[in-house]
């Protein structure tokens, strides 16, 4: 017990000290965890157990991560992302494996061993890539989708790899002697074909059990209405499936991933995610530390040049292959660069596959140890590589005005409107205005968005709209209106302030994120603002009311009532903006008033009064009267 507490204290203490420092230095939390692991590992300060113990301890972090990823792998997701998963991901695995295998053959390895090395090193780190993309804000965009598709295919590819890799041992008997002692699984003494059948039977048991046994079990437990028991049951399922897979010689993380996939269509999916999510962050941090602790520093010291060559060769080869494949699949240069950089390292499954191939006699133990160190170092270098990518991307952005022929060439004539920002918000506004005969000049600073819009025949000028000289050149001193639809909150405020001072007669309409941002924009000179999600959320709410049984006219009136009251409250609360306490109290009172007024209006409407519900012209007067009555009461 004392040893467990000591180990826990060491891991938690190292994380608490190293990660905030790494974040302050701009290195990211992943690199902080890895550095902490190297320092406390058996080859540095030796505050934790040896490498084998550390890697066993690391496994459950990946188990939880892969289970959560599996929960997201619904058939509809696979179909929607089929190009990224089966196209981009399949090409990456096959291309990378073949090129690395060819390089290994050139260094004199047998073809069976070379192919196994290629397949193992084709894997990238799901844990590190997703964590890094989250921190860089790239997870939800095209870069994140492409990277997730490739990682998902890699995770799926592990299933056939566990069945395929032992078959390579048939032609590679020279390592069989090194495999002694590999008897951790109950089927390791069986012939290769029997082991393969055992693996397939275990996978079938997980799929069948998840579909026909686990759901009834969760329904039974859910009736008890004890959340902690539901959480314990979710962890029980994960651990049980992982143990089953380990029994047949597969990775526990692979079993957890399969369990997640099976439960992805379950009605309990969201509850499972919510219950297990809190474990993910801490366990992933522990996993990263164990990866750092697993770096064999004496081996690095004995063969530094070999290790450096392996790491650089691995990362450069994977980068070039991924970049080329991404470009072939239509990615822009910057997006392809980001995806290739993110996926250039080895992966956590590589550690499991290396152990598996050594036990099967496909890869020698000494080569496996060297590859393990190279993979760990490449994972540690991933945050650094992403920092370098950001520097290169910044240089690319700085160079764009010099190579973009459309910059400053405003030849559309006298514009009625200037639109700054032509993303998902600005496009809708611009198309509406153009369809009604108004001429507009469009500015945007996202070169990938500009190239995409140009394919559809839209004329968009590259440039930073906050530059006063660019606004003048675009015709702001002659235009009737400026519409600010930028994706950056601070730049939106800056542009509104700049334009108001330079062009006092220009009408300025601005996109706001929320009510606070809207007040900032109005105080800096905007004539009118529109909160970007307000109308769409209101429309969805009206649809929800109809789906819940309201007639269309009732839902329409409720939405109109809400809109008018919210906008009236927006104006009434505006003078209080900046007085935090008074503003919060007034906002709460306004929300309560809204609820009472909506409820009163609902009961006032007669079932057959459809015409009155569609007629919302009198709502402003009704709102004033009812507000006065509220105040009198």
pLDDT digits (tens, 9 = 90+) for 329-357: 877 788 888 889 989 988 877 877 887 78
pLDDT at position 599 is 67
Q: Is the pLDDT of residue 619 over 60?
A: no
d(CA 288, CA 283): 9
Q: Is the pLDDT of residue 169 over 90?
A: no
Percent of the chain having pLDDT more than 70?
A: 74
For 333, the enclosing helix (H) or strand (E) is helix 333-342
Arithmetic mean of pLDDT, 40-49: 76
Burial class (CB in 10 A: 0-12, 13-18, 19+), 105: middle
Tokens of 37: 């692991």
pLDDT at position 452 is 73
pLDDT one-digit tens code per residue, 392-415: 877 765 554 443 434 445 555 678
Question: Which residue would you say has higher pLDDT here, 462 or 521?
Answer: 521
Q: What's 203-228 look like in SS3?
A: HHHHHHHHHHHHHHHHHHHHCCCCHH
CA angle 211/216/222 to nearest 5° reads 130
DSSP state for residue 100 in the 8-state scheme: H
Residue-range domain boundaries for the chain: 2-396, 406-532, 544-633
CATH architecture of the domain with range 406-532: 3-Layer(aba) Sandwich (3.40)
pLDDT one-digit tens code per residue, 124-137: 988 778 777 877 76
pLDDT at position 403 is 36
Which of 21-30, 429-438, 533-542 shows the lowest mean pLDDT across its residues? 21-30
Arithmetic mean of pLDDT, 158-175: 67
Q: Is the pLDDT of residue 178 over 50?
A: no
DSSP of 530-588, one letter per residue?
EETTHHHHHHHHHHHHHHTT--HHHHHHHHHHHHHHHHHHHHHHGGGTT-HHHHHHHHH
pLDDT at position 622 is 55
In this structure, the dihedral spanned by the alpha carbons of residues 87, 141, 70 and 340, taken in order and rounded to 10 degrees, is 50
d(CA 260, CA 62): 13
Arithmetic mean of pLDDT, 109-117: 89
Contact 485, 422 (CB under 8 A): yes
Mean pLDDT estimate for the chain:
76
For strand 507-512 and strand 440-444, is the pairing parallel, antiparallel, or unpaired?
A: unpaired
**pLDDT tier at 612, thresholds 50, 70, 90:** very low
- HSE-CB at 521 with a 13 A cutoff on CA atoms is 28
d(CA 271, CA 277): 10
Arithmetic mean of pLDDT, 497-524: 88
pLDDT at position 483 is 93
Which of helix, strand or coil describes residue 413?
coil
Q: What's this model's pTM, rounded to 2 decimal places?
A: 0.54
Contact 34, 291 (CB under 8 A): yes
Q: Is the pLDDT of residue 308 over 70?
A: yes
pLDDT at position 74 is 65
Q: Is the pLDDT of residue 509 over 90?
A: yes
pLDDT at position 320 is 93
Long-range contacts of 205-214 (CB under 8 A, 24+ apart): 205/244, 206/241, 206/244, 206/245, 206/255, 206/258, 206/259, 206/262, 207/258, 207/262, 210/259, 210/262, 210/263, 211/262, 214/262, 214/263, 214/266
pLDDT at position 610 is 46
Contact 375, 346 (CB under 8 A): yes
pLDDT at position 614 is 47
Tokens of 102: 């060819």
pLDDT one-digit tens code per residue, 269-296: 767 777 777 777 777 777 778 777 767 7
d(CA 613, CA 553): 5
d(CA 520, CA 525): 9
| Sheet strands side by side (includes 528-531) | 461-462, 440-444, 417-420, 481-484, 507-512, 528-531
pLDDT at position 564 is 82
d(CA 374, CA 598): 64
pLDDT one-digit tens code per residue, 217-261: 777 777 766 767 777 877 788 888 878 877 776 667 677 777 787
Residue 546: CB atoms within 10 A of its CB come to 13
d(CA 367, CA 376): 14
Which of 18-32, 230-244, 461-475 shows the lowest mean pLDDT across its residues? 18-32
Terminal-residue alpha carbon distance, the chain: 66
Residue 483: φ, ψ to 5°: -110, 120
**pLDDT tier at 487, thresholds 50, 70, 90:** confident
Arithmetic mean of pLDDT, 603-626: 51
pLDDT at position 400 is 46
pLDDT one-digit tens code per residue, 549-586: 888 878 888 888 788 878 887 887 777 766 666 666 76
Question: Which residue would you say has higher pLDDT here, 522 or 595?
Answer: 522
**pLDDT tier at 314, thresholds 50, 70, 90:** very high
Q: Specify whether domain 2-396 bears CATH 3.40.50.970.
A: no
Arithmetic mean of pLDDT, 456-474: 79
Arithmetic mean of pLDDT, 375-390: 84
Taking the alpha carbons of 264, 269, 272, 278 in that order, is the dihedral positive or negative? positive
pLDDT at position 101 is 92
Question: Which residue would you say has higher pLDDT here, 445 or 484?
Answer: 484
């Amino acid at each position: 017990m004392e040893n467990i507490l000591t180990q826990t204290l060491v891991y938690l203490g190292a994380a608490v000290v190293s990660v905030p420092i790494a974040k302050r230095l701009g290195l990211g939390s992943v690199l902080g965890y890895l550095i902490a692991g190297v320092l406390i590992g058996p080859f540095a300060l030796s505050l934790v157990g040896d490498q084998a113990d550390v890697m066993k301890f690391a496994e459950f972090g990946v188990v939880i991560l892969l289970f959560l990823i599996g929960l997201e792998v619904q058939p509809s997701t696979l179909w929607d992302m089929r190009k990224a998963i089966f196209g981009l991901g399949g090409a990456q695995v096959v291309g990378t494996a073949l090129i690395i295998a060819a390089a290994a053959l050139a260094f004199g390895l047998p073809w069976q061993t070379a192919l196994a090395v290629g397949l193992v090193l084709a894997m990238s780190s799901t844990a590190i890539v997703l964590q890094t993309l989250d921190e860089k804000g790239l997870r939800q965009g095209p870069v994140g989708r492409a990277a997730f598709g490739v990682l998902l295919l890699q995770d799926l590819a592990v299933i056939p790899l566990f069945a395929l890799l032992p078959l390579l041992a048939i032609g590679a008997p020279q390592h069989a002697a090194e495999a002694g002692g590999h008897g951790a699984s109950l089927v390791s003494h069986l012939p290769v074909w029997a082991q393969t059948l055992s693996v397939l039977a275990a996978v079938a048991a997980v799929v069948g059990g998840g579909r026909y046994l686990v759901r009834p079990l969760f329904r039974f437990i859910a009736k008890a209405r004890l959340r902690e028991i539901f959480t314990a049951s979710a962890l029980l399922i994960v651990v049980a499936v992982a143990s089953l897979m380990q029994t047949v010689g597969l990775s526990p993380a692979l079993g957890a991933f399969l369990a997640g996939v099976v439960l992805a269509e379950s009605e309990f999916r969201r509850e499972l995610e919510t219950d297990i999510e809190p474990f993910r962050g801490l366990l992933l941090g522990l996993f990263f530390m164990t990866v750092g602790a697993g770096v064999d520093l004496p081996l690095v010291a004995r063969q530094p040049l070999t290790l450096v060559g392996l790491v650089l060769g691995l990362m450069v080869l994977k980068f070039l292959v991924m970049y080329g494949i991404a470009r072939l699949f239509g990615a822009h240069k910057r997006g392809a660069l980001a995806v290739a950089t993110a996926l250039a390292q080895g992966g956590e499954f590589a550690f499991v596959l290396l152990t598996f191939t050594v036990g099967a006699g496909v890869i020698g133990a000494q080569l496996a140890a060297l590859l393990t160190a190279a993979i760990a170092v490449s994972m540690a270098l991933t945050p650094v590589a992403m920092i370098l990518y950001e520097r290169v991307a910044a240089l690319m952005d700085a160079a764009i005005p010099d190579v973009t022929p459309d910059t400053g060439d405003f030849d559309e004539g006298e514009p009625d409107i200037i639109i700054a920002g032509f993303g998902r918000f600005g496009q809708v506004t611009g198309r509406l205005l153009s369809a009604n005969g108004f001429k507009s000049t469009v500015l945007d600073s996202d070169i990938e968005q500009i190239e995409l819009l140009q394919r559809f025949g839209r004329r968009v000028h590259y440039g930073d709209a906050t530059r006063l000289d660019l606004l003048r050149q675009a015709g702001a001193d002659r235009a009737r209106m400026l519409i600010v639809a930028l994706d950056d909150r601070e730049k939106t405020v800056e542009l509104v302030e700049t334009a108001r001072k330079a062009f006092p007669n220009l009408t300025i309409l601005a996109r706001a994120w929320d009510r606070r941002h809207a007040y900032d924009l109005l105080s800096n000179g905007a004539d009118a603002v529109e909160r970007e999600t307000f109308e769409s959320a209101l429309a969805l709410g009206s649809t929800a009311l109809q789906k819940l049984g309201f007639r269309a006219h009732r839902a329409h009136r409720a939405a109109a009532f809400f809109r008018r009251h919210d906008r009236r409250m927006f104006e009434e609360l505006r003078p209080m903006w900046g007085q935090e306490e008074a503003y919060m109290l007034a906002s709460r009172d306004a929300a309560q008033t809204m609820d009472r007024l909506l409820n009163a209006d609902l009961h006032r409407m007669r079932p057959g009064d459809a015409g009155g519900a569609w007629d919302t012209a009198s709502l402003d007067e009704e709102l004033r009267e009812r507000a006065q009555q509220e105040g009198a009461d």
